[in-house]
């Protein structure tokens, strides 16, 4: 019924988890101490989490009247909502919430704090806060509020003739971009291109490590983590260079966002890669 909400042009969606069975649902529910909404479980059976096309929620109950929900968390024992208890502690959020979307700053959650049933209200809450805002009576009501963003209007004064967005890179160019460390855009775009092309896995992993170790490319961690997940989805497991991948995992799990503040997104990507190779 609500399958239209998913992004169809994503190609390989790294936010989509592996399919689950009833036993996994029961184990996750037991760990979380709740009964999940049937609408949520059935939606995840079709696509177990992922990127949303209908990703805007307009309401006077959210800051600035608009909430961006880029992804929905799927069902797994140690990923998606299976990470819930860890995330509540990490981001100083109250117990009784099941986080179904968020970015480390604001979250969308099933709110069981004052509810004993299988169809709780939905709230949005910011990290470190004890109180949130109710935005829907239940999960189905939340889905019905999600809207597709309005297409951007063309600006006649802007000429979008930058061919870099459609550029096809060579291996030699990627190597040169990383060595120079002068263009985060080109390194990111070329890594993404080669991540989606089958083959040359060891070469790709080595270039990713070099990019992570390049001081001038200190914001490349998210791209590398996402690209490794994409690459591992299309390469046979027997070809994975495990030791090199572990080097990337170690970097992602320890890289700071700034000063000594941990980078939540990089840590999460590192954990997902670790689970992939275990």
Co-location of 23 and 131 in the same domain: yes
Half-sphere exposure at residue 26, Cβ-oriented, CA atoms within 13 angstroms: 3
Co-location of 55 and 174 in the same domain: no
In a domain, 200, yes or no: yes
**In contact, 171 and 190? CB cutoff 8 Å:** no
In a domain, 242, yes or no: yes
The residue from 147, 176, 194 where one domain ends is 147
Co-location of 18 and 130 in the same domain: yes
pTM, rounded to two decimals: 0.79
Give how many domains the chain has, as a whole number.
Answer: 2
Co-location of 139 and 233 in the same domain: no
Range of the domain at 229: 165-277
Co-location of 176 and 130 in the same domain: no
Per-residue pLDDT in tens (0 to 9) along the chain, 278 residues: 899 999 987 678 889 999 999 999 999 999 999 999 999 999 999 999 999 999 999 887 777 778 899 999 999 998 999 999 988 998 889 999 999 998 777 899 999 999 999 999 999 998 888 888 999 999 999 999 999 988 766 544 444 445 566 789 999 999 999 999 989 999 999 999 999 999 999 999 999 999 999 999 988 999 999 999 999 999 999 999 999 999 999 999 888 766 666 677 888 899 889 988 98
The residue from 96, 117, 147 where one domain ends is 147
Co-location of 11 and 95 in the same domain: yes
Give me the CATH number covering residue 127: 3.40.1580.10
In a domain, 152, yes or no: no
In a domain, 160, yes or no: no
Co-location of 127 and 182 in the same domain: no
In a domain, 79, yes or no: yes
- The DSSP code for 69 is -
Co-location of 74 and 175 in the same domain: no
In a domain, 185, yes or no: yes
Which residue, among 263, 207, 214, has the nearest Cα to 231 in the 3D structure?
Answer: 207
The SS3 assignment for 33 reads coil
What whole-number distance in Å separates Cα of residue 103 and Cα of residue 126?
10
Co-location of 119 and 173 in the same domain: no
In a domain, 226, yes or no: yes
What whole-number distance in Å separates Cα of residue 241 and Cα of residue 16?
23
């Amino acid at each position: 019924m609500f399958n239209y909400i998913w992004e169809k042009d994503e190609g390989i969606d790294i936010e989509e988890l592996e399919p689950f069975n009833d036993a996994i649902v029961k184990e996750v529910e037991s760990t979380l101490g709740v009964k999940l909404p049937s609408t949520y479980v059935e939606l995840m059976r079709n696509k177990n989490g992922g990127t949303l096309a209908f990703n805007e929620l307009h309401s006077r109950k959210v800051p600035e009247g608009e909430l961006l929900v880029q992804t929905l968390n799927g069902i797994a024992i140690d990923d998606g909502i299976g990470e819930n208890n860890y995330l509540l502690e990490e981001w100083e959020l109250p117990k009784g919430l099941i986080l179904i979307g968020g970015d480390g700053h604001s979250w969308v959650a099933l709110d069981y704090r004052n509810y004993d049933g299988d169809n709780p209200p939905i709230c949005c809450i910011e990290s470190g806060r004890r109180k949130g805002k109710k935005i829907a009576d239940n999960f189905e009501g939340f889905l019905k509020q999600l809207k597709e963003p309005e297409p951007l209007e063309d600006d006649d004064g802007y000429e979008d003739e930058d061919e870099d967005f459609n550029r096809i890179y060579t291996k030699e160019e990627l190597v040169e971009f990383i060595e120079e460390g002068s263009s985060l855009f080109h390194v990111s775009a070329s890594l993404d291109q080669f991540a989606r092309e089958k083959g040359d896995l060891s070469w790709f992993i080595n270039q990713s490590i070099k990019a992570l170790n390049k001081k001038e490319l200190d914001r490349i961690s998210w791209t590398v983590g996402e690209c490794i997940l994409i690459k591992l989805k299309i390469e046979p497991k027997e070809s994975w260079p495990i030791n090199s991948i572990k080097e990337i995992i170690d970097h992602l799990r320890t890289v700071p966002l700034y000063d000594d503040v941990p980078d939540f997104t990089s840590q999460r990507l590192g954990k997902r890669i670790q689970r992939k190779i275990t």
